[in-house]
Amino acid sequence: MNPKAHQPDSLPAPGPGALAQSEALAEQIRMEIAAAGDWLPFDRYMERALYAPGLGYYGGGSVKFGRRPEDGSDFVTAPELSPLFAATLARPVAQALAASGTRDVMEFGAGTGKLAAGLLNGLQALGASFDTYSIVDLSGELRERQRATIVADAPELAARVRWLDALPERFEGVVIGNEVLDAMPVRLFVHGESGWKERGVIVDGDGFAFDDRPVAAKQDTELLASIEAEGELDGDYLTETHDAARAFTRTVCTMLTRGAALFIDYGFPRHEYYHAQRAQGTLMCHYRHRAHGDPFVYPGLQDITAHVEFSGIAEAGVETGADLLGYTSQARFLLNAGITEVLGEIDPTDTTRFLPAANAVQKLLSEAEMGELFKVIAFSRGIEETLDAFASGDRSHTL
């Protein structure tokens, strides 16, 4: 693949080894496109770019999570931003464990292990009774990073952590997914004068390009008709559907026989997601802490993501018989859970510790940062009351 193809001028070039990895993945995708009749739905391209074993973004060995480009990372998550995020999240997790009478925690996509280590320490500090902390992560490289982080940050509790290669049929406890749903492959659809078309991927020289094909499946046309009515579309319009994220939610909520499942991610309810003014969709790529819109840059070396359509996620969970425990902004969730109390445990006269912690909390809560864009949605079985973190400011009625 020509390394200059689909390379925005603002992005730094990867090293020779990374380029070779990207080229190997690109060749695999080219072969798959040829075998599929020279056209591949975008969600399949996104799945390969992110999760191809040994070569995809999450299946390979790049750093991914970090605070700055110099450490080789591409983006920062809340657990990396501040340990107070995990310390606060431990409170509703502990409450859900107690309310459901369960003793196990499961985390999907544990990143560097910072959230796991913070939750382990937070649960212990709260005196919460729990037995195991299971992690589900496809990346062998990330598993090793998680193991090292947990051993370093929560050494007394590391023995309770296990990594799962497959989901159990049944699980009782609390499930956590922080920025997991946005990494699920999405389908792309384009609306114009000739109606709806599905956007897929074709080979274009040494790289890839978009190509639109008519929509044929009845279930797709019905879904797109509802989106068109929701957004009152009257011009060119690009958007995503979230088949994989909905299927994942159904799987998790079916597996959950007692307890709670909490997902934290950025996104909107359906009426906001499919608004006519959101005409370019939400697909975004991240490389070395720079955001851009070209998913064909360095396949396997950059993150590809889309905002979450939370109404569909809520429907998927409820369809399994789970209860919708709550839905609110990250800011309201953390404030209800007591993040200001957690911050208050740091001596404000110790400015070297308190000021950075306060600045990080501001980013977690601010409407201009993560506080409003990020939402928390939770499902439950066997919990009669809601959690304190949803006690005020619940937005379930907006879904």
Read off the pLDDT of residues 71-127 as tens digits, 9 standing for 90 and up.
Answer: 445 557 899 999 999 999 999 999 999 999 999 999 999 988 999 999 999 999 999
Instruction: At 261, list the tokens.
Output: 């499942």
pLDDT at 154: 97
pLDDT at 6: 55
Closest CA to 309 of 256, 226, 240: 240
Cα 333 to Cα 331: distance, rounded to the nearest angstrom: 5
Indicate if the pLDDT at residue 152 is higher than 90.
yes
Q: Percent of the chain at pLDDT above 70?
A: 93
Name the residue with tokens 């947990």.
Answer: 150
Question: pLDDT (tens digit, 9 = 90+) per residue, 295-323?
Answer: 999 999 999 999 999 999 999 999 999 99
Confidence band for 69, pLDDT divided at 50, 70 and 90: very low
Whole-prediction pTM: 0.93
- Helices 351-365 & 330-337 angle (0-180, nearest 10): 130
Cα 46 to Cα 42: distance, rounded to the nearest angstrom: 6
Q: Which residues contact 188 (CB under 8 A, 6 or more apart)?
A: 42, 43, 198, 199, 200, 210, 238, 239, 240, 281, 283
Computed over every residue of the chain, the mean pLDDT equals: 92
Confidence band for 288, pLDDT divided at 50, 70 and 90: confident
Closest CA to 217 of 245, 244, 198: 198
Confidence band for 62, pLDDT divided at 50, 70 and 90: low
Confidence band for 1, pLDDT divided at 50, 70 and 90: very low
The kind and range of the H/E element at 88 are helix 83-100
CA angle 43, 55, 152 (to 5 degrees): 110
Report the sign of the C-alpha dihedral through residues 74, 77, 81, 86, in that order. Answer: negative
Domains of the chain: 78-183+245-272+307-398 (3.40.50.12710)
pLDDT at 289: 74
Rg over alpha carbons for the chain, rounded to the nearest Å, is 21
Instruction: At 94, list the tokens.
Output: 């502990």
Over range 62-73, report the average pLDDT: 48
